[in-house]
Copies of this chain bind each other. A is one copy, B any other.
Amino acid sequence: MAVHGARGRSGGRPTLEEVAARAGVGRGTVSRVINGSPRVSDATRAAVEAAVAELGYVPNTAARALAANRTDAIALVVPEPETRFFAEPYFSDMLRGVGAELSETEMQLLLIFAGSDRERQRLAQYLAAHRVDGVLLVSVHADDPLPDLLSQLEIPAVISGRRSAAETLPSVDSDNYGGGRAAVEHLIARGRSRIVHLAGRMDVYGAQRRVDGYRQGLLDGGHPVVDDLIVPGDFTEEGGRRAMSLLLERCPDLDAVFAGSDVMAAGARQVLRESGRRIPDDVALIGYDDSAIARHMDPPLTSVRQPIEEMGRAMIDLLLGEIADRRPAVSRGLEKRQLVLPAELVVRASS
């Protein structure tokens, strides 16, 4: 009452101080209530909450960020041109998982594309300004300098996939080895024996692991592995066509194709058709990703599903953990910082 309070600005947004005056308490107490501190009595808390509601108080994020040195925002960095972002279902699934998990929190998600050099320049600037508390890095290539930049700036980050078996950053990957193996086992179970592999880009660790799984699947089934029957595409439809043509030359009597992505499988399908082979009667075909393409292909494509959405959720969990750990110089817990989620074969008419 005695406190005649803040200068009589009107029209502007109410501040902490004004809320405090209205509730008849000090600034510190309001701050405690806003931030959910337990050391506030129930009566006081109620009074403050009433004042907040009456005044329609909303904290000023900039002031909070300045004082507390955090932004309550994290970035999803896509080191690809926007085109790919929209073209590949991978990103939309990932975004859905991330968004869902994040909606439980107060954190804000920023989407940042870094396809061109120019965009990467901006991104570097952005990160240097510490405008986010953490970063989710999807689709990183082995030689990308981004992870290093991030750790140099001491910004918590989590990547999807791994750059190698010895990944240092916290990461969430799917079991590419298991996925590749499951595909081959399935083909063998269906009586196929001349199974070729249309691989992905070999500088992508996940693609390598799919090859490893393919090999082991063949060996376990008692079949020999012929290196010539593993041909890398580049994850594109055109690459799939080229690789498929090559495979047909090398092994005209093949009876099954395991492709490292649905898109490449689509390319392979065209070439198989053109060569007069029927799917699945003459040749069984399996893709990877279980994308919309797989469902809409004729015949519908058997494909290995990665739990992308779930991976997105897991990445957020890891990242929030990293961020929290870094706050009060707590000794970093030894929880798992590398997650591998299972892949699953979705059987359709093509195999």
Interchain CA distance A82-B92 in the complex, whole Å: 8
> A residues engaging B (CB < 8 A)?
13, 56, 58-63, 65-66, 71, 82-83, 85-86, 89, 91-92, 95-96, 99, 103, 108, 110-111, 113, 118-119, 122, 125-126, 128-131
When all copies of this chain in the complex are counted, the total is 2
Query: In angstroms, how far is the closest chain B Cβ from the Cβ of A110?
Result: 6
> In the bound complex, do residue B66 and residue A62 qualify as a contact, i.e. CB atoms below 8 Å apart?
yes
Query: In angstroms, how far is the closest chain B Cβ from the Cβ of A243?
Result: 23
> In the bound complex, do residue A96 and residue B119 qualify as a contact, i.e. CB atoms below 8 Å apart?
no
> In the bound complex, do residue B131 and residue A61 qualify as a contact, i.e. CB atoms below 8 Å apart?
yes
Interface of A is mostly: helix
**What residue in chain B is nearest A292 (Cβ atoms)?**
B87
| Other A-B pairs beyond A65-B65, A82-B99, 16, CB < 8 Å | A13-B130, A60-B129, A61-B65, A61-B129, A62-B62, A62-B65, A62-B71, A82-B96, A83-B92, A86-B86, A99-B113, A103-B118, A108-B126, A110-B110, A110-B111, A111-B111
Interchain CA distance A214-B108 in the complex, whole Å: 44
Tell me which of A13, A86, A119 has the highest count of chain B C-beta atoms within 10 A of its own C-beta: A86
> In the bound complex, do residue A119 and residue B103 qualify as a contact, i.e. CB atoms below 8 Å apart?
yes
**What residue in chain B is nearest A88 (Cβ atoms)?**
B86
**What residue in chain B is nearest A121 (Cβ atoms)?**
B103
**What residue in chain B is nearest A81 (Cβ atoms)?**
B96
Query: In angstroms, how far is the closest chain B Cβ from the Cβ of A58?
Result: 5
